[in-house]
Structure 1
Amino acid sequence: MFEQAFKNIDDVLWKEAGCTTELDYTEQASWLLFLKYLDDLEQDKSSEAALEGKTYSYILDKQYRWGVWAAPKGKDGKLDHNKASTGDDLRDFVNSKLFPYLHGFKQKATGPNTIEYKIGEIFGEIKNKIQSGYNLREIIDHIDELRFRSQVEKHELSHLYEAKIKNMGNAGRNGGEYYTPRPLIRAIIQVVNPRIGERIYDGAVGSAGFLCESFVYLTSKTGLTTKDAKTLQERTFYGKEKKSLAYVIAIMNMILHGIEAPNIIHTNTLTENLADIQEKDRYDIVMANPPFGGKERPEVQQNFPIRTGETAFLFLQHFIKILKAGGRGGIVIKNTFLSNSDNACVKLRKLLLESCNLHTVLDCPGGTFQGAGVKTVVLFFEKGAPTRKIWYYQLEPGRNLGKTNPLNDGDLAEFVKLQRADADSPKSWSVDAETIDKVTFDLSVKNPDGGNEIAHRSPQEIMKEIAALDAESAEILNNIKALL
């Protein structure tokens, strides 16, 4: 049922003039999903209070609750069409009353980690792009079919939402900023191995893939106590995100995975001066895929000892600084970091090797990230002791990765298994830190067994991809014709 509802929502958004990309579809579905979730949450809390003989104090005033403005019901439990507004009346209410009211919560909130603050932040940053009040009514009716009451329902919705984020990531360069392949995230988590009680941080949170998958990883442990569950809800997962759309998606994704009040702050992480980070600000674990290729302004660069315009290199400095002594990191970064000869790269490699034990480097093939041509590596390190030995693994799935051949968990199984033993193989080897050049600190991936063999696809695989691309092109052309 939920899958059909999601499909119906996308079908309506596709007809909407104000929404032109997968990013728009996800954004607009997200704010509506959030309000439906909030209503279900408040209904549950009201019922719980009534059972205890108490009165629940609603967050939203009555006229702004989902059951009043979006989906008023009659005694038969069905939509009351006499009370449910549509067309221009509905659109105007959302734009001129609902959004300003919800944005006002930011000023009322007691702090950035409250649900009130998040309501204010979300509705101050995004806009309703659904210009037709009739389309908006149709979408609301489909979203009203969704239920967030049980864990089973949330689990199904989280899978559908993840698929939506993945589609957005595949839609092009901008969408790809928000999506890190989940098999890669799961492999990173297995290597870093977070434990309950440790605080996990992602300062470039995107769609919150690292935090959501870490929650799944930790909640799958046997013997969880009520105290453990409370710790996972309130004091485990932390993130920061600069972009409005990603912030909204991260909040919604974590909620759907079962984290009711996500500790996500909407801010540019890099505006924080490294000198101001104190022990109380530090985390046990950092896992992230920071944006690369961006250029930060000189005033932002002033916050860092190693000044560079490259966003990813500033993030790496931030992550090293914000880790506790003994803290563990798993960071995705472009592979040119390992060998670039510019001053900032050399200094940053020196800092990493001297202040952290860089124990593992995972070399990812091209095509790991859909829509991004750059090759990446994952750096695994522990803060507080210098690097002694680096274990390298060259990931070679045996096929070219692409939209029709994405990375899967099986591709990374050997890496996870061999990493635990630092085992040598045709794809893995170790380098003693003493042999690293003390001038360049070059960490290039150089497989002593040759490696880097090109994975040749079978004719059947090539024909399959051509057919998929042809179908995709035909769909785009049909969409264009429909708009003309």
Structure 2
Amino acid sequence: MNTNANELVQKLWNLCSLLREDGVTYHQYVAELAFVLFLKMAKETKQEDQLPKGYRWDDLARREGMDQLQFYKELLLHLGTKGSNRVQDIYANANTSLRHPKSLNALVKALDALDWYGVDRENLGDLYEGLLEKNATEVKSGAGQYFTPRPLVDAIIAVVKPQAGETVQDPASGTGGFLIAADRYVRSQTDNYFDLTEKQQAFQRRKAFYGVELVPETRRLALMNMALHDLEGELILGDTLSPVGRDLPKADIIITNPPFGTKKGGGKPERDDFTFPTSNKQFAFLEHVYRGLKAGGRAAVVVPDNVLFEENVGQEIRADLMDKCDLHTVLRLPTGIFYAQGVKTNVLFFTRGQKDKGNTKAVWFYDMRTNAPAYGKRTPFLRKHFDDFETAFGEDPYGKSKRKDQGSEGRFRKFSREQVEARGDNLDLLWLKSEELANADELLEPEIIAAEIKRQLQVALSELDALTVASEFE
């Protein structure tokens, strides 16, 4: 993003203060801004033909007072059923959080006053993504759960290497970061699609990338994000753990950061194709991913630590995953890189086998967490921090590059399938000795300590459950 675009992101974010008197939250502000910003961007990029006449930027900007607010409410309803398909998707069931005419007028005037010179179509998407990132980093917004940090997204895409002609699915799309990054990568490999035929270009823009998002407002933000990145892939509003997910076409690549936690009410997925029904969402999504891959398809899935070690159905799903797929790499991520502080996460990289048995021969683990800084506001996490992992992973996106076990003192280790099986298919493998933090000022945040205590309790509870089950059969 150029300097001018960065400045615009900050100025647009600062406009949120204009809406405080209306009681608008950060998350509502980003959605509200999306409605107005889309109109402004359509004008700036000379693409107003996708909007019906009489419901464009100038039609809103020339009004004032209550007339402007009433017209704005009418405009939101009208665009939900008129205009291009993408416009109708973005404005579907749209309504405003603004209650006072002066708030809308201030927002419109502020947008009109900004210097849009030098912000081209390519920068517009990055500009909006910058706003989404600010929303995610703002603790009060609670939007971090919908936004995967850009350095992690780009690192995953860099090793998975999506290619032109492949289908890429994200069954928990959030604000669309993975799909957009995958599209960006393919563009970088094809001279922004100019190396492709017209038919291939149409496939990339409209068919190659698709996903599902459960939350209507988050899907709206994702659609806006995709539109500004010139990406028209289908983004379904629905629940992947319902028949909606079952009916998705199988993909060449699935990349996702699914929601953590338990399904509301403890209910299990409404899927008749799952072998291991569970109310644990991350395990259910993991089963969706490896079942949703084409034979030979590859995946990268962000999961919390408990997915590596939970017993009972967790162990069954891990065993099934390692049978049906080649689970070739597990990346243990450092703490503090997600906006929910203290969450310990990993990325599972695997390839669906041609057959359903015995596909995992060995699992390679890369430990980015032990003796690493606690990343956060004081120590920002950057793209360069993945350099060593990417080198160790190798150039082959299926994990087949020649690799070197770095031994007990290194971060990259290989464990055979037999070794993992002997541990009850527990993938919570650690070998590096944890050292004291070198600097006294690098103390762990309280929430990180709390999360570690919770994790230890989960391990203890899992062991107690196992003892209880065992005693029932004695």
TM-score after normalising by structure 2 = 0.80
Further displaced range: 10-19 or 313-322: 10-19
2:421 alignment counterpart: 437
> Is contact 2:309-2:428 (8 Å) kept?
yes
1:258 alignment counterpart: 230
1:387 alignment counterpart: 360
1:419 alignment counterpart: 393
Deviation at residue 296 of structure 1 after TM alignment = 4.3
* Match of residue 37, structure 1, among 25, 41, 48: 41
Q: 3-state DSSP class of the match of 1:220?
A: helix
Change (3 A) 1:125 1:388: farther
Query: Where do residues 270-285 of structure 1 align in structure 2 (5 Å cutoff)?
Result: 270-272=241-243, 276=247, 281-285=249-253
Hey, what's the Cα distance between the residues in 2 that align with 1:37 and 1:314? 39
Q: Percent identity?
A: 29
Alignment partner of 1:409 is 2:377: no
1:108 alignment counterpart: none
**Matched AA of 1:133:** P
1:157 alignment counterpart: 124
Hey, what's the Cα distance between the residues in 1 that align with 2:392 and 2:173? 28
Deviation at residue 26 of structure 1 after TM alignment = 1.4
Query: Where do residues 466-477 of structure 1 align in structure 2 (5 Å cutoff)?
Result: none
Deviation at residue 100 of structure 1 after TM alignment = 1.8
Deviation at residue 274 of structure 1 after TM alignment = 6.5
1:292 alignment counterpart: 260
Alignment partner of 1:11 is 2:2: no
2:468 alignment counterpart: none
Q: Could you tell me which runs of 5 or more consecutive residues in structure 2 were left unpaired when the two chains were aligned.
A: 395-401, 446-474
Hey, what's the Cα distance between the residues in 1 that align with 2:363 and 2:256? 20
Alignment partner of 1:234 is 2:206: yes
Change (3 A) 1:89 1:8: farther
Q: 3-state DSSP class of the match of 1:63?
A: coil
1:371 alignment counterpart: 340
Deviation at residue 7 of structure 1 after TM alignment = 4.0
Query: Where do residues 317-336 of structure 1 align in structure 2 (5 Å cutoff)?
Result: 317-336=287-306
Hey, what's the Cα distance between the residues in 1 that align with 2:93 and 2:436? 45
**Matched AA of 1:306:** F
Deviations 1:427-482 (A, max 9, x none): 110010122226832111222xx3444544464x67xx9xxxxxxxxxxxxxxxxx
2:216 alignment counterpart: 244
* Match of residue 177, structure 1, among 130, 145, 153: 145
**Matched AA of 2:289:** F
Change (3 A) 1:286 1:147: farther
Change (3 A) 1:147 1:226: farther
Deviations 1:251-283 (A, max 9, x none): 122222332x24222222221266656xxx111
Hey, what's the Cα distance between the residues in 2 that align with 1:126 and 1:452? 51
Count how many residue pairs are aligned between Structure 1 and Structure 2.
Answer: 420
Alignment partner of 1:221 is 2:189: yes
Deviation at residue 66 of structure 1 after TM alignment = 2.2
Hey, what's the Cα distance between the residues in 2 that align with 1:454 and 1:393? 21
1:100 alignment counterpart: 77
Hey, what's the Cα distance between the residues in 2 that align with 1:392 and 1:127? 47
Hey, what's the Cα distance between the residues in 1 that align with 2:27 and 2:76? 20
> Is contact 1:126-1:244 (8 Å) kept?
no
1:267 alignment counterpart: 238
> Is contact 1:367-1:401 (8 Å) kept?
yes
Deviations 1:190-231 (A, max 9, x none): 221111111111010111111111122121125542425433
1:70 alignment counterpart: 60
Q: 3-state DSSP class of the match of 1:333?
A: strand
Hey, what's the Cα distance between the residues in 2 that align with 1:196 and 1:403? 37
1:133 alignment counterpart: 101
Hey, what's the Cα distance between the residues in 1 that align with 2:187 and 2:116? 19
Change (3 A) 1:265 1:143: farther
Deviations 1:317-340 (A, max 9, x none): 111111100000000000111111
* Match of residue 87, structure 1, among 65, 71, 87: 65
Alignment partner of 1:344 is 2:347: no
> Is contact 1:393-1:429 (8 Å) kept?
yes
Q: 3-state DSSP class of the match of 2:390?
A: helix
2:399 alignment counterpart: none
Deviation at residue 135 of structure 1 after TM alignment = 2.4
Deviation at residue 359 of structure 1 after TM alignment = 0.1
Change (3 A) 1:381 1:121: same
Change (3 A) 1:34 1:44: closer
> Is contact 2:263-2:280 (8 Å) kept?
yes
Q: Could you tell me which runs of 5 or more consecutive residues in structure 1 were left unpaired when the two chains were aligned.
A: 46-57, 72-83, 106-114, 466-484
Deviations 1:101-157 (A, max 9, x none): 12234xxxxxxxxx744433432344211222222123223334679999x613333
Hey, what's the Cα distance between the residues in 2 that align with 1:456 and 1:129? 49
Change (3 A) 1:458 1:236: farther
CA RMSD of aligned residues (A): 2.9
Change (3 A) 1:175 1:349: same
Hey, what's the Cα distance between the residues in 1 that align with 2:282 and 2:138? 23
2:465 alignment counterpart: none
* Match of residue 193, structure 1, among 161, 166, 169: 161
Q: 3-state DSSP class of the match of 1:300?
A: coil
> Is contact 2:77-2:95 (8 Å) kept?
no
Q: 3-state DSSP class of the match of 1:254?
A: helix
> Is contact 1:363-1:445 (8 Å) kept?
no
**Matched AA of 1:230:** A
Deviation at residue 89 of structure 1 after TM alignment = 1.2
Further displaced range: 246-255 or 330-339: 246-255
**Matched AA of 1:18:** D
2:458 alignment counterpart: none
Hey, what's the Cα distance between the residues in 2 that align with 1:268 and 1:125? 18
Alignment partner of 1:119 is 2:92: no
1:109 alignment counterpart: none
Hey, what's the Cα distance between the residues in 2 that align with 1:435 and 1:353? 13
Deviation at residue 398 of structure 1 after TM alignment = 3.5
1:167 alignment counterpart: 134
Hey, what's the Cα distance between the residues in 2 that align with 1:185 and 1:457? 30
> Is contact 1:359-1:389 (8 Å) kept?
yes
> Is contact 1:283-1:323 (8 Å) kept?
yes
Further displaced range: 229-238 or 219-228: 219-228
Alignment partner of 1:360 is 2:329: yes
